[in-house]
Chains A and B, each alone.
Chain A
C-alpha cells in the first residue's frame, strides 16, 4: 500500500512550522508596534476596574451587604431573595472569602456592564439588518464553541498578564447571549404593534425606545442573565492570567491538591452565580408581569 493511504498525507512539517511562525511573528510585531497604544486605549477601563474593586474592598463589609440587599429588593421586590442574599454573603464572610469575593464581584460587574454596553447596540443593529444577522450569527457560534483558552493567547500576547486581558477574555466569551437575545427580542415584537406606531408617525428612534426595547426587555434580561453566568464560569480561567479573586484559590487548590479549599471557593462562585441568576430572573419576571 502506498504510504499516503496508511498515514494522512500532511502538508509537511517544514511548511506548517514556517506558516505558524510567520503568523505568530506577524502578530507579535503587531503587538510590539501597537501594544502600548492599545493598552492606553484601555486605560480608562483599568481605572474603572481598580476604582470599583477598591471601593468594594474599602467599604465596610456590612455596608456592602446592606447595599447589595437593597439593590436586590429594588430589582425583585422579593423578601425571600433578600434573605437568601444576606445569608450567602454572611456565609462567605465567615468562611474568610470576603476579599476574593469582592474582587470577583468587581470584575464580573464591570465585565457585565461592558458586555451590555456593547451587546445591546450590536443586537439592535442585527435586528435592523438581515445581512448583519447572517454575518454575525456564525461568528457568535464560533465565539461560543471555541475553547476558552484560545482567547487568552492573543489577549495575553497583547496585554501581558493582568486585569485588562482578563476582562477582555470574559467579555468576548460572555457577549454572545446578550447580542442574540436583544436581536431576537426585537424581532419578536408583534407586527401589529409596530404597524400602529408607524400609523401614528413614530420615527425609528421613537419606535425603538418606546416600543421595541421595552417589549424586548424580558428577552434582553434573559440574555444578561446568561452572560453573567458565563462570566462567572470564566473566573477560574481568568485567574490563570493573573486576575485576582475567587479563581485564584481554586487554581492554587488544583496545583497543591487542597480539596477543601477548592470546594469552598468553588461554592462561593456557585453562590454568587445563583444570586445573580435569581436576581436577574426575578427582575425579568417582574418586567413581564407589568405587561
Chain B
C-alpha cells in the first residue's frame, strides 16, 4: 500500500467507564440513546469502514455529535478504538509503540483544528516551527521551511505577531502552515473553517484547493457544510450516530441519496452548480451537429447557455480528449436540476415534454 493511503476497518468507538462490557449490545445494534440512558456509555462510532486512496480528499459530514472528530482522531491515534483496525500507508497504526507513534505523528500525518489550537505564547513563526522543533529539525533548514509556508499561506509580515493579535482567518492560516511545515503526506482537517465567516471561509477553501492541486496530499476533511464538502472533496462520507450512511462522490450523493437523512443534506443545495454534464447526459446522438460542445465536467449552470443556444436545444458532450461521449438537452438539464420530483430515466422527461408541448 502506498504511503499516503488510509484505511479503517470495522471501527467501533464507545466512550465510558467500561466500553468492552457493552460491546456485545453495540454489535447487536443497540441505539445510541438507549446505550447512553440505560448503560451510561456513549456510542461514537459503529462499524466504520473507510478507505481513502493516496492523494485524494475524503470529506466526513454529519450532524453535530455524530462522531466526525472521533473518526479523524483515529487516523493519528489521538483516540484509541474500542474495536477495529486502522492502517495508514500500510502500517498498522494501532501496533505502533510510543516512540514510533511519535515519529509517525512528526512526519507522517498532521492536523488542523476547528478552534485553531495555536500556542498562544508563541509567535506565528514559532507556531509554524513547532512540528519541526519537536523532531529536532535544526537551523537553516527549519527557518527555510517556516519562511516558505508562512509565505505560502499568506502570512508574510506577521511572523512576529502572536495568535491573539490575528483575526480568525489569519489564525487558521497559522494552523494550516503549522500542519504543512512538517511535509506530512496526510492532512487531517477537523472542521478547519467552521469558526470562520462565510467570505473568509471561501478564501480559505480556495487556499486549500490551490494547495491540494499543488501538493496532492491525502486529506480527511470534516465539515458541516455540503457546499464546502463538494468544493473540496473527492468523496463524501455522511455519518449518522456513528455509522457511515453513504460514502460517494458529490454527483452520486445529489442524484441518488441513500435515504431521507442524506436528502436533508442535499436538498438545499443548488443542483445546477453541483451536477456536472457527465453525470446526467444521455448516450451520444449521431444526428446532432451542433458546433457548441459541452465537456463532461462542466456544471449544468455553465452548460445551460450553450445547450439552449444549440439547434434543437441539444448539444453533444465531449470528454477531455475531445471525443463525443454523450448528448445533453435543456430538458434533461431541467429535470436534473428539478431533482426529487422527477428522476432521470423513468420517463419523466417524456411527461414533461408532453405537458410543455
> Does chain A bind chain B?
yes
Are A198 and B105 interface neighbours, CB within 8 A? yes
Q: Say yes or no: A210-B133 contact (C-beta < 8 A), given A195-B113, A199-B76, A291-B121.
A: yes
Q: How far is the CA of A241 from the CA of B248 in the complex (A)?
A: 81
B39 on the A face (CB < 8 A): no
Are A197 and B102 interface neighbours, CB within 8 A? no
Q: How far is the CA of A206 from the CA of B103 in the complex (A)?
A: 14
Min CB gap A1→B, angstroms = 56
Min CB gap B178→A, angstroms = 8
Min CB gap A192→B, angstroms = 4
B182 on the A face (CB < 8 A): yes
Inside 8 A of A199's CB, which chain B residues have their CB?
A: 76, 78, 105, 110-111, 188
Interface residues of B in 34-81 (CB under 8 A from A): 76, 78
Interface size range of chain A in the complex:
10 to 19
Q: How far is the CA of A210 from the CA of B135 in the complex (A)?
A: 13
Inside 8 A of B178's CB, which chain A residues have their CB?
A: 200
Inside 8 A of A201's CB, which chain B residues have their CB?
A: 101-107, 131, 134-135
B120 on the A face (CB < 8 A): yes
Min CB gap A241→B, angstroms = 42
A290 on the B face (CB < 8 A): yes
B10 on the A face (CB < 8 A): no
- A193 nearest CB neighbor, chain B only: B117
A155 on the B face (CB < 8 A): no
A242 on the B face (CB < 8 A): no
B16 on the A face (CB < 8 A): no
Min CB gap B129→A, angstroms = 10
Interface size range of chain B in the complex:
20 to 34
A211 on the B face (CB < 8 A): yes
Are B182 and A211 interface neighbours, CB within 8 A? no
Q: How far is the CA of A215 from the CA of B164 in the complex (A)?
A: 14
A202 on the B face (CB < 8 A): yes
**Residue from the list A193, A203, A291 in contact with B134, Cβ < 8 A:** A203
Are B105 and A200 interface neighbours, CB within 8 A? yes
Interface residues of B in 280-324 (CB under 8 A from A): none
Min CB gap B89→A, angstroms = 16
B342 on the A face (CB < 8 A): no
30 contacts between A and B (CB under 8 A): A192-B115, A193-B117, A193-B119, A195-B78, A196-B111, A196-B117, A197-B130, A197-B134, A198-B105, A199-B76, A199-B111, A200-B106, A200-B130, A201-B103, A201-B105, A201-B106, A201-B131, A201-B135, A202-B102, A202-B130, A202-B134, A206-B133, A210-B119, A210-B130, A210-B134, A211-B119, A214-B121, A215-B120, A291-B120, A291-B121
- Residues on A lying within 8 angstroms of B by beta carbon are 192-193, 195-203, 206, 210-211, 214-215, 290-291
Q: With A195-B113, A198-B78 given, can you name 18 additional A-B contacts, CB distance below 8 Å?
A: A193-B117, A193-B120, A195-B78, A196-B111, A196-B117, A199-B110, A200-B105, A200-B110, A200-B130, A200-B178, A201-B101, A201-B103, A201-B107, A201-B131, A201-B135, A202-B102, A203-B134, A214-B121
